[in-house]
């Protein structure tokens, strides 16, 4: 099934065709007017240079006028092998279709609302026949049955025509088109971008990234670019200031010789305040008692850190490099790159 973008917005068109596999672009005078385009010919020429196949309107009251307009547009420098002329279905429209097809030009007979209209376009040799699904459904008609009947007619009578599913409003329309077996679909960029989206896919992909990170990233690559170290001579009040500055709930307390005395956390602070009141804020950190801090080497993988967090049931682990503290690993750092 060919996949076309349906737009006249240059930013959308450039974004869509970066995918590299769209088959072409459909556009309309209404789209162009909506985008504020005044140089229609200039826009057509520009688009013809950036899309594989361009489908543009060839308007006229008679078949001769339609042919004249198509040839005028070709003379702008368009490639006849990569240009499809869109003609609204009518008696003169299908006559023009036959004339252009006899001259080897490509034609899309569109604005099709009935099987009879589609049949006339097929029999006139239309390259594409284009029912408008969204518009038909807006009017309460069974548009999907019409499209299916058009596909069946092409297949049954062996017409050299592709049925184009157009007026696409949402993701479900694309699924409908695939199920019916249409030959071509043209979709707005918003719908096109939604076709690969699925919540379960997103969840699974994120899990793969997290698991890969755990197996490949070292602890030193995950810790924040600060080393929350304070001297044991620091007061608890100043340690609290440092915690705020570092945006950590933990500081590493070191002795004068650089050895680690322990780790002081905001949990320790809350317990001291509850027990002894706010006068403890003027105490120095060296006056406190510490448990041996949980530590891990900076070159360990995050998987090892995760196992250590689980084993010790702590929220922070001291990271050492060559035996010296170089930072703290928060349990949240395992989740955030």
Taking only the tens place, the pLDDT of each residue in 197-232 is 999 999 999 999 999 999 999 999 998 888 889 999
Buried b (16+ CB within 10 A) or exposed e, 4-18: bbbbbbeebbeebbe
**How far apart (Å, rounded) are the C-alpha atoms in residues 167 and 184?**
12
- In sequence order, the 6+-apart residues with CB closer than 8 A to the CB of 287 are none
Q: What is the largest CA-CA distance in the chain?
A: 100
Residue 319: the pLDDT is 93
Crossing angle of helices 91-102 and 63-74, in 10° steps, is 50
Catalytic positions are: 86
Phi–psi pair at 52, nearest 5 degrees: -65, -45
Determine if the pTM surpasses 0.75. Answer: yes
Residue with token string 């007619």: 153
**CA dihedral for 173, 179, 185, 190, sign (positive or negative):** positive
- In sequence order, the 6+-apart residues with CB closer than 8 A to the CB of 44 are 54, 56, 73, 76, 78
Give the C-alpha distances (Å, rounded to integers) separating 110 from 10, 128, 189.
23, 8, 20
Sheet containing strand 229-231, edge to edge, reads 229-231, 250-254, 260-265
Residues of the chain with pLDDT under 50: none
Residue 336: the pLDDT is 66
Residues linked to residue 235 through DSSP beta bridges, in sequence order: 284
Residue 202: the pLDDT is 94
Q: What is the CA radius of gyration of the chain?
A: 34
101 near 127, Cβ under 8 Å? yes
Residue 150: the pLDDT is 98
Residue 259: the pLDDT is 87
């Amino acid at each position: 099934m060919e996949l076309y973008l349906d737009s006249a917005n240059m930013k959308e068109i450039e974004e869509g065709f970066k995918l590299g596999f769209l088959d072409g672009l459909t556009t309309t005078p209404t789209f162009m007017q909506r985008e504020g385009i005044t140089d229609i010919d200039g826009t057509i020429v520009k688009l013809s240079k950036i899309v594989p196949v361009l489908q543009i309107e060839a308007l006229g009251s008679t078949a001769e006028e339609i042919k004249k307009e198509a040839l005028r547009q070709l003379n702008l420098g368009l490639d006849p092998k990569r240009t499809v002329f869109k003609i609204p279905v009518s008696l003169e429209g299908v006559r023009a279709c036959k004339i252009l097809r006899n001259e080897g030009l490509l034609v899309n007979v569109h604005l099709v609302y009935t099987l009879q209209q589609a049949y006339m376009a097929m029999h006139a040799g239309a390259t594409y026949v284009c029912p408008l699904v969204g518009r038909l459904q807006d009017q309460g008609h069974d548009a999907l049955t019409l499209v299916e009947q058009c596909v069946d007619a092409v297949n049954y009578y062996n017409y050299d025509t592709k049925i184009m599913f157009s007026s696409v409003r949402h993701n479900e329309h694309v699924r409908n088109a695939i199920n019916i077996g249409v030959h071509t679909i043209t979709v707005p960029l918003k719908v096109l971008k939604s076709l690969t989206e699925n919540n379960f896919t997103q969840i699974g992909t994120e899990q793969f990234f997290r698991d890969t990170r755990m197996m490949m990233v070292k602890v030193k690559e995950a810790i924040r670019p600060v080393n929350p170290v304070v001297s044991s001579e620091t007061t608890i009040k100043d340690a609290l200031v440092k915690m705020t500055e570092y945006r950590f709930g933990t500081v590493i307390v070191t002795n004068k010789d650089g050895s680690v005395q322990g780790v002081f956390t905001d949990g320790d602070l809350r317990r001291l305040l509850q027990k002894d009141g706010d006068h403890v804020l003027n105490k120095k950190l060296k006056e406190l008692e510490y448990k041996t801090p949980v530590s891990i080497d900076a070159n360990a993988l995050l998987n090892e850190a995760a196992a250590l967090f689980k084993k010790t049931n702590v929220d922070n682990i001291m990271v050492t490099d060559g035996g010296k503290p170089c930072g703290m690993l928060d349990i949240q750092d395992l989740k955030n790159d």
